[in-house]
Structure formats: C-alpha cells, structure tokens
Amino acid sequence: MRMLAAMSGGVDSAVAAARAVEAGHDVVGVHLALSRAGGTLRAGSRGCCTIEDAMDARRAADRLGIPFYVWDFSERFRDDVIEDFVAEYRAGRTPNPCMRCNEKIKFAALLERAVELGFDAVCTGHYASLVDGPEGRELHRASDAAKDQSYVLGVLTAEQLAHTYFPLGATPSKALVRAEAEARGLSVAHKPDSHDICFIPDGDTRGWLAERVGSTPGEIVDRTGAVVGAHEGAHAYTVGQRRGLHLGVPAADGKPRFVLEVRPVSNTVVVGPKEALATAEIAGSRHSWAGRAPAAASFDCAVQIRAHADPVPAAARVEDGTVTVRPEAPLDGVAPGQTAVLYAGTRVLGQFTIDRTVSAVPA
C-alpha cells in the first residue's frame, strides 16, 4: 500500500513508520506544522509540535530512507482546535483539545489530503488496534493498557478507520518500542514523551486563557444560591476543582467545597460538597460512531470519560439525535465539554461530547 506516515518527531511515530517500511509498504513521511511560531523550541517534555520535533522527524525519515515533507496545517489547527478550545471555555465547558486535533486535523485534514494524493492509508504511532470484523473495520484497545490511546481515537469514523494503520497496537510495552528504536538507530529512542496541551507549552492554562477570554469578576455561590465567595474570571474554574477557591464563607459542616458548575451567562461559579460531584447521567448530541451505529436504540456498554479513567458499565440510549448514558455506578466530577467514549469490551463503539449532566445527589 501507499502509506503516509504522520511523524510527530517522537519515538512512537518513528517506530510506526519503520514498521510500515519493513512490512513492504511504500511510505512517505510527513510532519504537521501546527504553529507559525517556528522558532519555538521544546521546554522539557512539554509540547509536541515544535521546530525541534520537525528536525527529529526528518532525521528519523532519513534513517529509514523515506521521502519526508512538512505540511503547514497551522491555520486549520488554529481554527478547528485552538479557537474551539477558547470558545468551549467561554461557554463554561471543559474541552479536550487532543480529541479535536485527532478529529479535525490528524484524521480529517491529513487523511483528506492523503487520499487526494493517492495514498491508501495514514500510519500513526497511536497505541490502538484495528480489527477487520464482519461488519467492517473495528477500533479496539491496545494490548498495553497503560499506553492505550483508543479513548482519544474515539472520534474516528468508519470511513477514517478504513484508511488508518496503527502498527504499535499489539506491542506489549513502551519499553519495547524504545528498545526497537535504539536497535534501528533512531535518535529519538530515549526522547521524553510529550504531555500537556501542545499550544500552551508552559502549562499555564489559566494564564493563557485569561489573555484570550479576559477576566471578569463574579460571584461564587453554593447550591442554594447563597454567595460564598468571589472570582476574577469563571474560565479559570472547572468541575471538580478544590484548590484556589478562596471562599469567604465556610461550609456549615466545615468540609471542603468543590466546583460543581460554571455558569458563563451569569458569570457564576457554583460550589458544593464532594458528594455532589457524583454524576448519575450524562448526555450529548454531538456524537459519532466508530463503525456501524448500534442496531438498537438502547444498548449496554462501558463508558469512559477521561483518557486514563477506568471504564464504567452503563446503559445507553439514542433518541432524537441525543445519546444518554446512565452508568451503573456514579461518575466522578464530570464537566460539560468532556468526551464520553463508549466501549463494548475492548471495542470502541463511538463517542459524544457531554452537554448535560445529572447529579446523583439532589440539591
């Protein structure tokens, strides 16, 4: 197959490209330039899209003897990922920019261009598995549970899965990938993993948002509506947060309070007891299926609401374009804007962006 290898400059994508070459595919490497701040260099292990990463990707491609290109996707990344991130926070939601990047950039914009240029598939270093089932290609968890990335790939559609290749899905551990990279003479063998939000390399999300959203003082209230404190900008708070509230009125029981809700229209932050973070139901209308949609309107599944959270058995139903999920045990600290990924065993069924939550503890 003609294969486009997305090379981030890290060890995973380099080894994935090497395996694609070794499997006999006609491979071309491409690095996505997602920022116009071209002089930016990585600080520690933060970020994943710097000029240093582009150079590391080029060295890996040279070592593998494959053609290599850098494609400028910075405008689309700004519009589809960064601006979406800011808009979601303005609306009082907690977005996952990695999900949007996979959905809009790596498996939409990149795959679209790859197909236009005659490539059969895009190869990446994600830890997930693809299985060709009786009803088409299925997305499954990786064999290494600690590195499994199927959650952030839950946005992929059947059409995208048909043109995707994950060579690392069956690899038992990241240590083996690093050892393989070293054996292949790849200079990125011991490069630190990237983490945090790539377009906020210093990790100061609150400060970054304050520059773009602004800081408007408002009230912090309890579940009865009583004012218990003040804030300098609601965007700085997210559901489940405890630190940094600086409440002027202590709780009657003397226990700590947590952020339960952010209301952007009234610029209000709602706080309450930890027990109120328990969520009995979640729902959302922005959804997609990783393959064929479930045959029945109601079905059993497992739901996962964070990349490294444990899946929870649940009952789901699809009605009037909205997916509603009731977990067997309450979920903890769910915020609108998060992504819920649904599983059947190891298989990813699909995902939705959470628009509505119902607390398991009445006000």
Which residue reads 């939601």 in tokens? Answer: 93
Catalytic residue selected from 48, 49, 123, 198:
198
Residue 312 and residue 329 in contact, taking contact as beta carbons nearer than 8 Å: yes
Phi, then psi, of 6 in degrees rounded to 5: -75, 115
Catalytic option among 48, 101, 123, 301: 101
DSSP helix/strand/coil, 189: coil
**CA distances from residue 223 to 251, 261, 283, 343 in whole angstroms, order as listed:** 11, 10, 22, 34
Element (H, E) at 125: none
Helix axes 51-64, 11-22, angle to 10 degrees: 20
Helix (H) / strand (E) containing 239: none
- Asked if 198 is an active-site residue, the reply is yes
Active site residue 101: yes
From the list 318, 283, 282, 316, the residue with the least C-alpha distance to 300 is 316
CA dist 312 and 303 (Å) reads: 5
Note whether 328 and 174 are within 8 A (CB): no
Burial class (CB in 10 A: 0-12, 13-18, 19+), 308: exposed
CB 165 within 8 A of CB 3: yes
Contact criterion met (CB below 8 Å) for 282 and 334? yes
Residues marked active site are found at 101, 198
